[in-house]
Amino acid sequence: MFKIIKKEILAPNIVSFDVFAPRVAKAALPGQFVIVIADTYGERLPLTITDYDPEAGTVQVVIQALGPSTKKLSSFEEGDLLESFVGPLGQPSAFLQEDLESLKKKKYLFIGGGLGAAPIYPQVKWFHDRKIPCEVIIGSKSKDYVILEEKLKASASKVYIATDDGSQGFHGLVTDCLDQLVHQGNHYDHCVAIGPMVMMKYVSLLTKKLDIPTTVSLNPIMVDGTGMCGACRCTVAGKTKFACVHGPEFDGHEVDFDEAMKRQRQYADVEKEKGVTND
């Protein structure tokens, strides 16, 4: 059993848990995820690691309460025990394998759309801890749903907010914000974009046009997190991959987003027939 040490409400229907899981905290790296099971009857939920503290032995995850499983998990409180908290799983972010001096010469841009601000945070923090400047765009439908803004501002050299309704920061999509930044003379050597599938698709289309290498995370299509169910099967550079085993991060210019989104919609349609809201 794994104890919830801290619970924080980040936005409407979005909460974060700090979970006491010393072994996971000690081994965790940016880009990885955990499988969480709320109780004996709970489903397996793959959640990207938002933060980790090896000394305190805690791992932070962010949950958006959309369907029955995530609503149940979000209802847990500080002191409650989780049935299972397994990880870290998946491959760490590719930049961890790069030579540090070489990485310091590059300018990275991280884009977090909606809940995607959570998985980019440990990456941005990793850059900050190594004194490598990077910039961030946080995208949200309105100011009420912007999450982790202060934590990201404490780690990034610049943070831009883009809201669909213009209630905070740039009025428009993250792609519009990125396009404007580039046309204003900003240069980026690499982009990491994490968020809804459609957002990552259009960011990748834009960065390909702008000649900016791009990494995306296919965590939205993961289900069981082991590669057994096949739900996260995707095509990358013409080859079949499983997001939970080979990823979740891939070259955004090589992902077949249309195929991935079609499969995602198929699972949503099945759940609608059953009267279940898709997580």
Provide the residue ranges of all domains of the chain, joining segments of one domain with +: 2-87, 100-210, 218-279
| Residue 184 neighbours by CB distance under 10 Å | 7
Q: Which of 179, 183, 190, 172 is nearest to 249 (CA)?
A: 190
Q: For 145-204, what is each residue's pLDDT tens digit?
A: 999 999 999 999 999 999 999 999 999 999 999 999 999 999 999 999 999 999 999 999
CA pair distance 167, 150, nearest whole angstrom: 17
Q: For 70-84, what is each residue's pLDDT tens digit?
A: 899 999 999 999 999
DSSP string, 150-208: HHHHHHSSEEEEEETTSSSSEES-HHHHHHHHHHTT---SEEEEES-HHHHHHHHHHHH
Phi, psi angle pair for 8, to nearest 5°: -135, 135
CATH fold group of domain 100-210: Rossmann fold (3.40.50)
CATH fold group of domain 2-87: Elongation Factor Tu (Ef-tu); domain 3 (2.40.30)
CA pair distance 253, 263, nearest whole angstrom: 19
Q: In what order do the strands lie in the sheet with 33-37?
A: 81-82, 2-11, 14-20, 58-64, 45-53, 33-37, 84-89
Q: For 91-126, what is each residue's pLDDT tens digit?
A: 899 899 899 999 999 999 999 999 999 999 999 999
Q: For 193-247, what is each residue's pLDDT tens digit?
A: 999 999 999 999 999 999 999 999 887 766 666 666 666 777 888 888 877 777 6
